[in-house]
Chains A and B, each alone.
Chain A
Amino acid sequence: MNPHRISAVIGKESREILRDPITLGVAILMPLVMLFLFGYAISLDLRKAALGVLDEDRTPASRALIEHLTSNESFYLGRFLNSAREIETVLQRNQVDLVLVIPSGLQESLLRQEHPDVQILVDGTYSTTALLAAGYAENLVSSYAAAPPEGRLRLETRIWYNPSLASANYVVPGLYAVILLAFPPLLTALGVVREKETGTIQSIFASPLTSSEFIIGKLVPYSLIALLQMLMVVAVGYLWFGVPFRGSFAFLVAAGLIYVFCTVGIGLLVSTLTRTQLSAMLLALIVTLMPSFLFSGLLFPIFTMPALLQLYSGIFPGRYFVEISRGIVLKGIGIDIALTQVTVLAVYTLAVFFLASWRLRKKVA
């Protein structure tokens, strides 16, 4: 490998990118757009669910329970129901998200120190919110059911790393990984294919430049752009979304650098496999953008997936970086804990690089 030839390719590539301000602008803007859209849209918090109430007891005790449930951020009193028949109607019409049924005799049995039952019916159409709503409601009901008697075991729950359970804290660091898997390959994939379309690649083939020199020359400038994108989204995440930053910034940048080399490499690999810009773009979307949502653990924890899909998710580098970036940002972990993930990413990057160099075998057909 000849460093002068590589630097020639890097210089040429950088100039071309810088002189195409529109593409560069899109490259910088798109990740931000995505961060804002998803940072706000993907909220796993439950806010203001409408609670329907069928109160068959109508005592101070039942009113106190209703008051307890609706005097917080999570629920508001949507509707009073008069009979059990109405329950189905209001749920079908989406007038309420869940219904609290208080049978008659609540106050009496409470006074008798018994354990009376109340029922909560949840609209399970959106399973995630349903589970959350059910969980919140359950907590509230049990906290109402009088303080436990003295002397018994008392459970005290503390949530670490994300005590407010704010989804932004959870989603945004995951988005760092997803965004860097979604956009840099897209931009890069066009880089080689464009040369195929204009025919300049033939001059490259018919020159002493080796395919690995060419790939490195392309990899470096696009990775720098990707690194810039990463710094940008991390800054916005910290400053705008108020996501905490507990770990080492240097470690995040170092791990991020490996990661962007990897994702940019995937873009290059894609472009060695395709002939037109359109097919390169579609292939890049399929191998990066789509799985980056499903199989990175951004939204759905990987450990809950079926074993086969867990294995499948291992193909996509996003998964490892989601773990790294969440770990650094939320838990403040260091290289000692993230060693496995970093190693996997590094090996992955090398594999992608060699595969791309091998595919670009300096022949037109």
Chain B
Amino acid sequence: MGTQDSDKWIIEAEGVGRCFGHHEALSRIDLQIGRGEIFGILGPDGAGKTTLMQLLAAILDPTAGRCRVLGFDTVRDAAQVTARIGYMSQGFTLYDRLSVDENLAFSARIRSVPDALFQQRRKALLQMAGLESACRREARVLSGGMRKKLSLCTNLIHEPSLLLLDELSLGVDPVSRRDLWRMLRTFRAQGTTIVLTTPYMDEASYCDRLAFLHQGQLLAVDSPDALKERARGQVYEVVTARQEEVQQLTGEYREIVSGQWLADRFRLQLASGKAPSEPLRHKLEALGAFGPAAPDLENTFVQLTAPPTDTGSTPEQTGFESVQVDGTDAITARGISVRFGNFSALKNLSFRVAAGEVIGWLGPNGAGKTTLIRVLCGLQRPSAGEVHIAGVALRSAPMAVRARIGYMSQHFSLYPDLSVIENLVFFAGLYGLSRHKRRDAVHWVKTVVGIEGIDGRQAGDLSGALRQRLALACAIMHRPAVLFLDEPTSGVDPLARRRFWQLIQLLARAGMAVLVSTHYLEEAYYCHRLGLMNNGRLIALGTLGELRSALETPLHTADMETLFMTYMARASADEGAIT
């Protein structure tokens, strides 16, 4: 039975650790979570977030320490714990062939929710999640955002006092993410304790308290504001729009451990405990108004994880020759439409991409981003319209086009059981490079992305950041004119993300056109132009400045999220007006 201390702490972990074979996924975690908190666990892929959540859900036994949840021991009284919690595992864990209603009903029935109560809650939840109109549809046809909301509903149907949410908004578009958070706040107000993991810094700042998890260890536990304070004094910003020069500086000065573009300014973080050196200060002041700035969570994370000596290596520039594109646009798309039966996935898209341009595609789940990339790669034949890649018509010479494009999927399509070098050689073979060229290409690409000296390691054992770079290496080895990146940075820690973007910009400067789809709105600042998509339409395309001033009431200093939401709202209003 629950004891009196369960009144104070919903979760108490004492020295909890978990090993898988020799690998220590978690070590010596001490944690107390109180009633009614929204508690966030923040960390990159592989930090041990999922393991910790499974331990708390009592579906995994710790190999060290002990853990009490709702007053019950997670090993001895696992059944008591699982009977009282809601646990949403990573991914989209629904029964695909069951409808929304059936998924909900199943979840309620295995938890013995009385029928009358179920009907009442079902109605309220579906309404809150905006799923009423979809309640008869099978789960597999729902968009990512809808699936996540339904997953959440199936875990709320028994109104648990503790809700454990693993990767709440991974793969969920910003609009659905807002809905999810609205639901969480409603339930918190009713006394539900919520523990969630997230790789998103912005999401983490919505939590009451936050734990930084890195390589299986808790680095810090505190409120988001207190955590931000820890990086005070390291963060500066310079008001400027001169991206090129800023990029050069970050490459040149190793004391800059991290940098981030905001609306009209560049924020940079210095190695902990250092003030900017004189030459750097001069150069920054020459760019625009320069001064200290308020730190955010990402700064604290960087401070806690970056070893003082490693100031973030930049990609090696030597040996990198430019990717030649013969003067023409990298991509010309005219009037592309894709229809699946009655459903229009893409509606009359036209745009051009110049060589060396980085374009970010943003839009909610189901907006058509993936279909667009599939069309441009020649994997999906458009119902109408024409695409030229580096001057070659996709329709007439699809194979020639394939040789000019590189594609990196969000899942880093690598062979986990092959070593790094075996993966590289295999992809080189796929591109049809001769034995001699293959050796050169592998050598070249290793230097470019900075993965030398790990030839023999298995791809599956690499960290998320290294796997990401290996996947990029496999995608650019044949020096394509156009590179497609499908959510390339999901689940990678902030430092690695920054290095990855430096690499992308390096490739772009060499003449490669890069198309990126992403859910991280802050990454939009790294792109030359942005394409906003909604419902299969390209609703806006332009630089950040152009997008801001193109609105009826220009939002000159709006951050990316506000801008995105404004455009989405406008597009939905337009659609409404048409139908």
CB contact between B111 and one of A11, A12, A207 (< 8 Å): that residue:
A207
Q: Do A199 and B90 touch across chains, with their CB atoms under 8 A apart?
A: yes
B186 CB to closest chain A CB (Å) equals 22
Give the complex CA separation of A209 and B110 in angstroms.
6
Q: In the complex, are the beta carbons of A8 and B89 less than 8 A apart?
A: no
Q: Which of A12, A15, A199, A209 contacts B89 (CB 8 A)?
A: A199
Cβ-neighbour of A199 out of B85, B91, B102, B107 (below 8 A):
B91
CB-CB contacts of B87-129 with A at 8 A, as 1s and 0s? 1111101111110001001110111100000000000000000
A residues near B91, Cβ cutoff 8 Å: 198-199
Indicate whether B142 reaches chain A with its CB closer than 8 angstroms.
Answer: no
What chain B residues lie within 8 Å of A210 (beta carbons)? 79
Asked if residues A5 and B97 are in contact (CB atoms below 8 Å), the reply is no
Cβ of B79 and Cβ of A200 under 8 Å apart? no
Q: Roughly how many angstroms separate A248 CA and B262 CA in the complex, as a whole number?
A: 82
In the complex, the answer to whether A5 meets B93 with C-beta atoms within 8 Å is no
Q: Mark A180-208, 1 if CB is under 8 A from B, else 0.
A: 00000000000000000011101111111
With contacts A208-B82, A208-B83, A209-B110 taken as known, whether A364 is within 8 angstroms of B93 at the C-beta atoms is no
Mark B180-219 against chain A: 1 for CB-CB distance below 8 A, else 0: 0000000000000000000000000000000000000000
Report the nearest B residue to A210, measured CB to CB: B79
Chain A contacts for B93, CB-based, 8 A:
198-200, 202-203
Binary B-proximity of A1-21 (CB < 8 A = 1, otherwise 0): 010110111011001100110
Closest B residue by C-beta to A206: B87
Is B20 engaged at the interface, CB distance under 8 Å to the other chain? yes
A63-106, CB < 8 A from B: none
Residues from chain B with a CB closer than 8 A to the CB of A362 are 59, 78, 82
Q: Please tell me if A365 contacts chain B, counting CB pairs below 8 Å.
A: yes
Count of chain B residues near A, Cβ 8 A: 36
Chain A 24-35, CB-CB to B under 8 Å as 1, else 0, gives 000000000000
Q: How far is the CB of B89 from chain A (nearest CB, A)?
A: 4
**In the bound complex, do residue A15 and residue B83 qualify as a contact, i.e. CB atoms below 8 Å apart?**
no
Say yes or no: is B154 at the interface (Cβ < 8 Å to chain A).
Answer: yes
* Cβ contacts B61-79/A at 8 Å (1 or 0 each): 1000000000000000011
A208 near B112 (CB under 8 angstroms)?
A: yes
A363: interface (CB < 8 Å): yes
- What chain B residues lie within 8 Å of A207 (beta carbons)? 82-83, 107, 110-111
- Chain A residue with Cβ nearest B164: A206
B78: chain A residues within 8 A (beta carbon): 362-363
Residues of A within 8 Å of B57, CB to CB, are 202, 205-206
Pair B110/A8 contact, Cβ less than 8 Å: yes
- Report chain B residues within 8 Å CB of A202: 54, 57, 59, 87, 89, 93
* B20 contacts across to A, CB distance below 8 A: 365
* CB-based contact B82/A203 at 8 Å: no
Q: What would be 13 A-B contacts, judged by CB atoms less than 8 Å apart?
A: A11-B106, A15-B102, A200-B94, A202-B57, A202-B59, A203-B88, A203-B93, A204-B110, A205-B57, A206-B85, A207-B111, A363-B78, A364-B59
A interface residues with partner B (beta carbon < 8 Å): 2, 4-5, 7-9, 11-12, 15-16, 19-20, 198-200, 202-210, 362-365
